[in-house]
Amino acid sequence: MLSRREFFKLSSAGVTATCMSGWLNILAARAAESGIKHKSCILLWMDGGPSHKDTFDLKPESKGAGEFKPIPTSVPGIQISEHFPKLARLMHHGAILRSMSTGEGAHGRARYYLHTGYKEGLGGLVYPSIGSLASQEIGDPNLPVPNFVSIGNRSYGAGFLGARHQPLVVNDPARGVENLKAYVDGQQFNNRVGLLEELEQGFLRLYNAPSAQDHLTTYRRAVQMMQSREAKAFDLSLEPESARAAYGGSKFGEGCLMARRLIEAGVAFVEVTLGGWDTHTNNFDRVKQLSAQVDPALSALITDLKERGLLDTTLVVWMGEFGRTPHINSRGGDKPGRDHYPRAWSSVLFGGGIKGGQVIGRTDKEGATVEERPISAIDFMATICKAIGIDYTKKYTGPGGRPLSIVDKGAQPVAELF
């Protein structure tokens, strides 16, 4: 990020609130010129668990092949769903992991496991999510906006890391972060903040409890953000209409656009959620509709990051909590579906300095069993950590003073990516 002096230089050069899209471009360019390489991550969370056989591991000759055809990509020999035509042209930037095998088949437990690297309830603790870990380990502590932003849904939080690393939740990217503008003038605002600070400090002297500290941290973060230039990154109205259209015009697409703006502004971790992948019935229509949202949004995101010189330092992850059964059920009548399936499924990584243009792992001819290079939940978590510059073996001092590893013991990153 730029120093305060550099911010004033930008202001004197005419980079004002009326052209913040240009300001973000200048931030990215200045960082590139200075050789600064901040690692960051965008997690595109496909809530509900997308079918691997209908997205990135099609088996056209299998019994449960379904309705979709595979198409070639920019990498000879790699094929993906016909409903990802734009993404197919960018696969040389990405790696498909077709051998995820993670064990947890219930939504809540699987989400928790894939976000934290720990099984829910282990040791009686609430573990920090990968976004909070990124905030702690690679986030800029002086950034006036949170280093972890969750768009479209409330993500898993900071656990024992505390309020400073909780995600800022943006429910609707089109509306951004509401109530950022004070309703009184600057002096009145400062007076009120000063009074609130006195009250908070007085309460804290009497009741120095963790919840009181968390409240103080949260309100201070809010005040800091309200007074910052970086908060303009949440305002999509500052983007040209052509840029918004390139992302597909969906709520998910706008979330991806906001993620790009936040990465430009220096945020370490952004999660964007697209729900609806729990396709027990009407699998094919729903996957087709959801893929039509993913294809332009993810393609535009990769293209924009590449053009701005940010793709090599920004890891983009596409995944859900598990896959879907290789066979098709009959519960939906003429609109059948697929059920939960953590035994074998796919995730996809782009950018972040990984070796793209490859498929890692293989499932059998039905897409039912991992035949080559199984990747566990903790292996995957360690891989993400390594890609964005986090030491996954590092230990924290957890509640009660006991040492806790960032990722549960036994994790091994996917070496083929590095």
Q: What confidence tens digit (pLDDT) does each residue in 338-376 have?
A: 999 999 999 999 999 999 999 999 999 999 999 999 999
Task: Report angle CA 65, 355, 46 to the nearest 5 degrees.
Answer: 45
Which residue's structure tokens are 């990124």?
134
**Position 336, amino acid:** P
Percentage of the chain lying above the pLDDT 70 cut: 79
Report DSSP letters for 378-417, one per residue.
Answer: HHHHHHHHHHTT--TT-EEE-GGG-EEESS-TT----GGG
Is domain 37-176+235-417 annotated with CATH 3.20.20.140?
no
**In sequence order, which residues have a C-beta less than 8 Å from that of residue 257 and are 6 or more positions away?**
173, 236, 239, 243, 244, 247, 297, 300, 301
User: pLDDT digit string (tens) for 62-102?
Assistant: 999 989 999 999 999 999 999 999 999 999 999 999 999 99
* pLDDT given at position 75: 98
CA-atom Rg of the chain in angstroms: 22
Domain spans, the chain = 37-176+235-417
Of 272 and 183, which is predicted with more confidence?
Answer: 272
pLDDT tens track for 130-182: 999 999 999 998 888 899 999 998 889 999 998 889 999 999 999 988 666 65
User: Using CA atoms in the order 112, 115, 119, 122, what is the torsion angle rounded to 10 degrees?
Assistant: -90
CA 21 to CA 304: how far, in whole Å?
Answer: 13
Question: Does the pLDDT value for residue 183 go beyond 60?
Answer: no
Q: Give residue-wise pLDDT tens across range 203-254.
A: 667 666 566 565 556 556 665 665 567 788 999 999 999 999 999 999 999 9
* pLDDT level of residue 19 (50, 70, 90 thresholds): very low
Q: How confident is the model at residue 22 (pLDDT cuts 50, 70, 90)?
A: very low
Average pLDDT, the chain: 86
Encoding tokens for residue 219? 């309100």
Q: Which residues pair with 270 in a beta bridge?
A: 42, 149
Containing H/E element for 362?
Answer: strand 362-363
What confidence score (pLDDT) does residue 162 get?
A: 86
pLDDT at 222: 60
pLDDT of residue 171: 94
Give the model's pLDDT for residue 290. 98
Give the tens place of pLDDT for each residue, 86-96.
999 999 999 99
Could you tell me the pLDDT band of residue 6, with boundaries at 50, 70 and 90? very low
pLDDT band at 385 (very low <50, low <70, confident <90, very high): very high
Q: Give the number of other CB atoms < 10 A from CB of residue 210.
A: 11
Cβ-count burial 334-352 (b if 16+ within 10 Å, e if not):
eebbbbbbbbbbbbbbbbb
pLDDT at 242: 95
pLDDT at residue 400, as a whole number: 80
pLDDT higher at 124 or 417: 417
Residue 26 pLDDT: 47
**pLDDT tens by residue, 263-292:** 999 999 999 999 999 999 999 999 999 999
pLDDT at 20: 39
What DSSP string describes 337-361? ---EE-SSEEEEEEETT---SEEE-
